Amino acid sequence: MRTVYLDNNATTQPAPEVIEAMLPFFTELWGNPSSMHVFGGQVRRHVELARAQVAELIGADPSEILFTSCGTESDNMAIRGAVEAASPPVNVITTRVEHPAVLEPCRMLKERGVPVIELEVDDKGQIRLDDLRLALSRGRAVVSLMWANNETGVIFPMAEATELVKASGGIMHTDAIQAAGKLPIDVRRLPVDLLSLSGHKLHAPKGIGVLFIRRGTRIRPLLLGGHQENGKRGGTENVPYIVGLGHACELAARALGDEMTRVATLRDRLQAGIQAACPDVRLNGDEAQRLPNTLNISFQYIEGESILYHLSDCGIAASSGSACTSGSLEPSHVIRAMGVPFMAAHGSIRFSLSRYNTAADIEYVLKNLPPIIKKLRAISPFAAP
């Protein structure tokens, strides 16, 4: 059976070149990069090369790149590390649609007495800069705004928001995990202080992340117990994965132009095809400010998990904001924060593409999806007869 993978905001296929680059570091080049002898020295050079490759993708200096174990660790360290290092104490500002890796640390800080403000979003999933301005007026803050949303692909106005935060004397963190490799990122032009990346969202394997820390930013380490990463993160470096991430960033930088345009064209074809073939669908998010690879669309009258199971029977992988797919009873906090009605929220499906998708993949989905929607609507008590 043909398989079509359209769940790249969950994880991506590791690039074969990336895996190939990693392999020697499991076999011959297994030294500890901190060691003085030749075993360590030759490995250290590769770690530093990877650091430069990552820095290049986002316009940073290699000394500003810190390797972590995952995007969640990067987000935790940025928020908790910046708040703990701040003196006098600061407020925290974030949004209601962040990833749990940001929301949970913020809520933990709130329980410990740190004032936390969660900004609302409008029906397109956008924040209002006036809300941010008002929140910033309450005192110096650590601000965490995602660059692009994992569920809807909505892109926040980073340039304007960062300018406001910096003008107020605040510390700006952005979770750029979904943006990296899909949008150009240049920290020379965008004065964020902290920025999180994750390897497995850009065709490196799981288990590697990055926190960009602008020189001069005060931050408390999360992991103590070693001099590694300039004393900012203890723990022997995960060399094979660091090398893999370096290669993945180089490949991502190359794919940013033409390849991402091609991906956007495929996504637009998918969207237009679904809208033409299926009545009563609802687009979730901001069409004008959206990642090139993401389509979040609700099918009225039917539930997301049922759609996913039928798609899976055809070899198509996607995901849903419905309650049932997560095992919780409430639909996605992102979709609900946008004020999407319950029924549309339960029937929301996210298709997220990558540079490995082809036009034939999209045609295959457009052939198989409409009959599934029709079949489920025939069972639904809410669908028009």
Partner 1 sequence: MDISRRTVYISQWFMVQRGEKGMWDYTDKVLDHFRNPRNVGTLKDPDGVGEVGSMACGDALKLVFKLDKRGRIADVKFQTFGCASAIASSSALTEMIKGLTLEEAEKVTNQDIANFLGGLPEQKMHCSVMGREALEVAIANYRTGKTSKKILEGKVVCHCFGVTEDEIVRVVRENRLTTVEQVTNYCKAGGGCGKCRGEIEAIITRIRGEEPAAAVAPQSCPRLTTLQKIRLIEETMEKEIRPALKKDGGDIELMDVVDNRVVVALRGMCANCQVAQFTLKDVVEAKLREFVAPNLVVEEAHP
Contact pattern from residue 275 through residue 314 relative to partner 1, giving x for each residue in contact according to CB under 8 A and a dash for the rest: --------------------------xxxxxx-xxx-xx-
Q: Among 36, 288, 329, 384, indicate the residue that binds partner 1 (CB under 8 A).
A: 329
Interaction between residue 7 and partner 1 (CB under 8 A):
no
Nearer to partner 1, 275 or 328 (CB): 328
Nearer to partner 1, 35 or 328 (CB): 328
Interaction between residue 346 and partner 1 (CB under 8 A):
yes
DSSP 147-210: SB-TTT-BBP-HHHHHHHHHHTT-EEEEE-TTTBTTB---TTTS--SEEEEEGGGTTSPSS-EE
Residues in region 356-385 near partner 1 by CB under 8 A: 378-382
Picking from 148, 149, 140, 143, the residue whose alpha carbon sits closest to that of residue 162 is 143
Q: Among 38, 111, 327, 384, indicate the residue that binds partner 1 (CB under 8 A).
A: 327
Task: Give the integer Cα–Cα distance in Å for 164 and 64.
Answer: 23
* Site size with partner 1, rule: CB under 8 A: 28
Residue labelled with tokens 């639904």: 380
Question: Rounded to the nearest whole angstrom, what is the least distance from the CB of residue 341 to partner 1 in the complex?
Answer: 8
Residues in region 198-227 near partner 1 by CB under 8 A: none
Burial of 3 (0-12, 13-18, 19+ CB in 10 A): exposed
User: Is there a catalytic annotation at residue 324?
Assistant: yes
Question: Rounded to the nearest whole angstrom, what is the least distance from the CB of residue 46 to partner 1 in the complex?
Answer: 29
Task: Give the integer Cα–Cα distance in Å for 379 and 375.
Answer: 7
Question: Rounded to the nearest whole angstrom, what is the least distance from the CB of residue 372 to partner 1 in the complex?
Answer: 11
Question: Rounded to the nearest whole angstrom, what is the least distance from the CB of residue 300 to partner 1 in the complex?
Answer: 10
Q: What does DSSP assign to residue 112?
A: T
Interaction between residue 161 and partner 1 (CB under 8 A):
no
Encoded amino acid at 192, one letter: V
Question: Rounded to the nearest whole angstrom, what is the least distance from the CB of residue 255 to partner 1 in the complex?
Answer: 30
- Counting every residue, how long is the chain? 385
282-311: buried (b, 16+ CB within 10 Å) or exposed (e) per residue? bbbbbeeebbbbbbbbbbbbbbbbbbbebb
Residues in region 249-278 near partner 1 by CB under 8 A: none
**Alpha-carbon Rg of the chain, whole angstroms?**
22
Q: Which residues bind partner 1 (CB under 8 A)?
A: 301-306, 308-310, 312-313, 322-325, 327-331, 342-343, 346, 378-382
Active site residues: 324
